[in-house]
Structure 1
Amino acid sequence: MEFEIVRVEAWSEALAGELARLLPQLSAAARADADRLRALVENPCTALFAARTAGRIVGMAALAWYDVPTGRKAWIEDVVVDEAARGRGAGRELVAAAIGEASRIGAGRVWLTSRPARRAARALYRSMGFEAAETEVFVLKLDRQ
């Protein structure tokens, strides 16, 4: 199966529908919010990549970046490939596209997180040169207070 990796340049209802189908495969709690997706596509500090085959989106990855005194930071988020298309290289191509964009915009490092249960994804990231960081990520869930 061949994939075309594209940077999503414009939001549409059709795009929102396709991403709504993918996001629950990332996490049972993940839902596509049309306003959030529109803001993501229109934000100058984010990039959304889609893997397409046969006219259908079968995967996605988001890249977000920001500047702090220690440099430009970039994070890859929400990498998901449709279950029927997994194991055929779409995830690798999506992550490679995000890494390429991070390099282009001058990020010194690219970060991502992945739950331990996502063994295949973690193996992919390691095979692409990602290493476990010597830090812990802390979270404060403001939406649950």
Structure 2
Amino acid sequence: MRIEILYKTDITSTIQDQVSELFKQLSPNKKQLKLVEILTQENPITIVYCIEQDKIVGIASMCTYKVISGNKGWVEDVVVDLNFREKGIGRKLVAKLLEVGKEKGLSEILLFTEDERKSAINLYKGLEFKQKNSRIYMKISNPY
């Protein structure tokens, strides 16, 4: 098992297909963008993946941005294949993103998860994420 950063030059049709199938386990009804559309110079994102015997079994991503209050990161799309859960892969993926955040000098790394995702909540708490006293609001400006 290896945890790697995904670069645009790494993308093959096999990798795209494996990531697409994996993402469906997280959000089966969401429209997906192609990896080549995401991994661009204009889009400050890091995607990490776990590969086991030539198969991608986990992914996580972090977007970075600068605002008045500092350099920040936002973790998204953390998913581990159903057949590979409970092996610490999610923890290793997020830990890798935290390393990247440290290298980039981020002052804060944020994420969102739904209340019913108990395993994810335990994972994030185990990596010392703290729940903020805040609300997230959403407005869909370009519905699919």
Query: TM-score, structure 1 length as denominator?
Result: 0.91
Aligned-residue CA RMSD (Å): 1.5
- Match in the other structure for 1:100: 99
- Which has the higher mean CA deviation after the structures are superposed, 39-48 or 66-75? 39-48
2-side partners of 1:124 and 1:88: how far apart? Answer: 12
Corresponding position: 1:123 with 2:122 = yes
- Match in the other structure for 1:73: 72
- Match in the other structure for 1:5: 3
- Match in the other structure for 1:25: 25
- Match in the other structure for 2:132: 133
Structure 1 residue 54: Cα displacement: 0.7
5+ unaligned residues in a row in structure 1: which ranges? none
Structure 1 residue 127: Cα displacement: 1.0
Structure 1 residue 14: Cα displacement: 1.7
Structure 1 residue 50: Cα displacement: 0.4
**CA deviation vs aligned residue, 1:76-105 (integer Å, no higher than 9, x gap):** 100000000000011000000001101111
State whether residues 73 and 107 of structure 1, in contact with CA within 8 Å, keep that contact through their aligned partners in structure 2.
yes
Corresponding position: 1:14 with 2:14 = yes
2-side partners of 1:61 and 1:91: how far apart? Answer: 8
Identity %: 25
Q: How many residues align?
A: 141
2-side partners of 1:48 and 1:70: how far apart? Answer: 24
Structure 1 residue 108: Cα displacement: 0.5
2-side partners of 1:93 and 1:26: how far apart? Answer: 18
**CA deviation vs aligned residue, 1:32-55 (integer Å, no higher than 9, x gap):** 332xx2132233611110001111
Superposition misfits of 4+ residues, deviation over 4 angstroms: none
5+ unaligned residues in a row in structure 2: which ranges? none
SS in structure 2 opposite 1:141? Answer: coil
- Match in the other structure for 1:64: 63
Structure 2 counterpart of 1:112, one-letter code: L
- Match in the other structure for 1:89: 88
